[in-house]
């Protein structure tokens, strides 16, 4: 296989600086919030293993086991949670990364410029590990009940925050050093991707390398900024609260603002493959659809080749003939293996074909879309993946039981925000005085003290850091961080805990 790619190409506008496009310039040991008293470890293999350990032992990762993938409040442990989905994405991301390295070697494409074989292997291992851990982290910021939980936070913010800010800090009585409208826009655009960046940097303070954080910074614009491009800034990638951290990451990795880190494309492709398979697999397991429904749907899709359709039908027939004890599982295993076997080499090939744009971070489409567009030989398999996604939207997510649970989740999250809203209305001078706060606002005081101490500390640190650096105080910014404090608590809940907290605070139980 010969790939048309120029691995010696220069970054746009960087010829005079002599920056060559090799990955060791992107894979760094520098850490976010590196303590100056810490001894910096320049050995990439130790640094990357440290990232893995910090991520795998993070409490936010463990909470994913009780957070919705498709079925909210699911008691059947065989049905995917956010954690089991992320583990599958991790495996697929590893597969794609290894295939990219293999094809690069086969085609004499130099990704790492070093003559030391040990160092070369360390960078190859780091390339794979960064992708794996980005895949594991990719859903870490998603709130309870998935996109409906996210929508509840967005709707509540849009319906309440303008009034709260105006009543608490009237424009005419306050001089703001930060654009109030910008802060409000940021809060109204809550997104799980941006919350993920906030979790690993500001809340959990995992002290990951810049390269690791950049590897799961899926979208490139702030929640306070307008969308400019079709794909890579379709959604907010970070909040104003993490703006300085993200700018440091871009600067350290010599990446232009609003460009993607190249490994993000691999993580995104792995997720696109996995969720398409997982949605169908879980729906079959729950009895929401049957294999025959899926096959009938494919039969009506013009873009699905008859050859592929017959191949899939044979797998279904084979499972029946063999009297497999779980025909659905057998069918899905065969489908999963076929899809990955066909798609992953194509995705790896087009990663290298589009190397220049991907390395620079300005390819404004998903890697799967780029692969499908230019893959004549395997296009039919990309069509199958797209049809699986459409089938899920049309015949799985419209299921009455799923819709009912999603509406319940929306109600729970919205109601919790209403319950904690009074905390945002406490005057700042009272909020900062524990004695006054306790006596004058007993209800709000008790609500505030339900919030985890680590989130309270994050709020105080952010407020104090701004005050110390700027030598001035901004009431709008304080209310912004206080609102973030509430969002952090509620978005960090598991599905079960959100339900329990809602029942407890409303007196249902």
Given 54, 63, 139, 315, the catalytic residue = 139
| Integer angstrom CA distances of residue 441 from 28, 425, 426, 448 | 49, 10, 8, 10
85 catalytically annotated = yes
Query: CB-hemisphere CA count at 13 Å for 84?
Result: 17
393 catalytically annotated = no
Residue carrying structure tokens 């709707």: 155
Calculate the CA dihedral of residues 333, 337, 339, 345 and round it to 10 degrees.
160
Q: Which of 90, 183, 100, 170 is nearest to 137 (CA)?
A: 90
Q: What are the φ/ψ torsions at residue 230 (nearest 5 degrees)?
A: -65, -45
Contact 128, 101 (CB under 8 A): yes
Given 51, 271, 282, 495, the catalytic residue = 271
| Integer angstrom CA distances of residue 151 from 57, 144, 155, 189, 481 | 29, 11, 6, 10, 20
Q: Which of 219, 261, 439, 264 is nearest to 359 (CA)?
A: 261
Rounded (5°) CA angle 14-16-20: 50
Query: CB-hemisphere CA count at 13 Å for 331?
Result: 23
Given 179, 446, 450, 465, the catalytic residue = 446
Q: Which two tokens stand for residue 130?
A: 């960064």
Q: Residue 401 CB: number of other CB atoms within 10 A? A: 11
Given 80, 138, 260, 350, the catalytic residue = 138
446 catalytically annotated = yes
Cα–Cα distance, 234 to 229 (Å, whole number): 7
251 catalytically annotated = no
Given 67, 80, 85, 350, the catalytic residue = 85
Contact 268, 363 (CB under 8 A): no
Beta-bridge partner residues of 238: 222
Residue 172 DSSP code: G
138 catalytically annotated = yes
Q: Which ranges of 112-191 would DSSP assign to H, the alpha helix?
A: 117-137, 146-168, 180-188
Residue 34 DSSP code: -
Calculate the CA dihedral of residues 494, 498, 501, 503 and round it to 10 degrees.
-140
Known catalytic residues?
85, 138-139, 271, 446
């Amino acid at each position: 296989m010969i790939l048309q790619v120029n691995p010696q190409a220069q970054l746009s506008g960087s010829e005079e600086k002599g920056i060559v496009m090799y990955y060791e310039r992107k894979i760094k040991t520098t850490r976010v919030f590196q303590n100056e008293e810490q001894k910096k470890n320049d050995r990439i293999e130790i640094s990357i293993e440290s990232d893995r350990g910090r991520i795998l032992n993070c409490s936010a990762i463990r909470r994913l086991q009780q957070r919705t993938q498709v079925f909210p409040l699911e008691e059947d442990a065989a049905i995917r949670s956010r954690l089991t989905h992320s583990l599958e994405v991790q495996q697929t991301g590893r597969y794609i990364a290894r295939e990219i390295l293999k094809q690069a070697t086969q085609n004499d494409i130099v990704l790492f410029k070093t003559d030391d074989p040990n160092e070369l292997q360390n960078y190859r291992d780091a390339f794979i590990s960064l992708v794996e851990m980005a895949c594991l982290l990719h859903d870490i910021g998603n709130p309870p009940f998935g996109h409906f939980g996210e929508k509840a936070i967005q709707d509540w913010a849009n319906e309440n925050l303008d009034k709260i800010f105006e009543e608490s800090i009237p424009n005419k009585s306050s001089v703001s050093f930060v654009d109030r409208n910008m802060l409000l826009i940021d809060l109204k655009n809550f997104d799980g991707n941006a919350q993920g960046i906030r979790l690993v940097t500001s809340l959990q303070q995992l002290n990951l390398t810049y390269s690791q954080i950049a590897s799961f910074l899926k979208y490139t614009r702030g929640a306070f900024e307008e969308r400019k491009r079709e794909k890579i800034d379709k959604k907010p990638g970070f909040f104003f609260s993490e703006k300085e951290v993200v700018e440091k990451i871009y600067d350290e990795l010599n990446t232009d603002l609003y460009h993607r880190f190249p490994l993000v494309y691999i993580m995104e492709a792995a997720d696109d493959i996995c969720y398409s398979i997982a949605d169908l697999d879980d729906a079959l397991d729950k009895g929401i659809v049957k294999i025959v429904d899926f096959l009938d749907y494919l039969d009506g899709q013009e873009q699905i080749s008859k050859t592929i359709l017959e191949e899939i039908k044979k797998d279904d027939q084979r499972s029946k003939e063999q009297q497999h004890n779980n025909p659905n599982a057998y069918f899905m295993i065969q489908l999963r293996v076929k899809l990955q076997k066909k798609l992953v080499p194509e995705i790896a090939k087009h990663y290298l074909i589009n190397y220049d744009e991907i390395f620079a971070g300005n390819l404004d489409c998903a890697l799967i879309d780029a692969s499908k567009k230019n893959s004549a030989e395997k296009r039919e398999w990309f069509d199958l993946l797209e049809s699986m996604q459409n089938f899920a939207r049309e015949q799985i997510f419209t299921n009455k039981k799923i819709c009912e649970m999603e509406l319940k989740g929306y109600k729970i999250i919205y109601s919790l925000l209403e319950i904690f809203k009074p905390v945002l209305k406490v005057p700042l001078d009272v909020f900062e005085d524990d004695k006054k706060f306790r006596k004058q606002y007993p209800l709000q005081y008790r609500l505030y003290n339900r919030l985890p101490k680590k989130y309270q500390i994050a709020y105080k640190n952010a407020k104090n850091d701004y005050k110390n650096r700027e030598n001035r105080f901004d009431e709008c910014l304080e209310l912004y961080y206080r609102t973030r404090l509430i969002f952090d608590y509620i978005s960090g809940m598991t599905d079960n805990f959100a339900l329990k907290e809602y029942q407890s605070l409303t007196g249902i139980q």
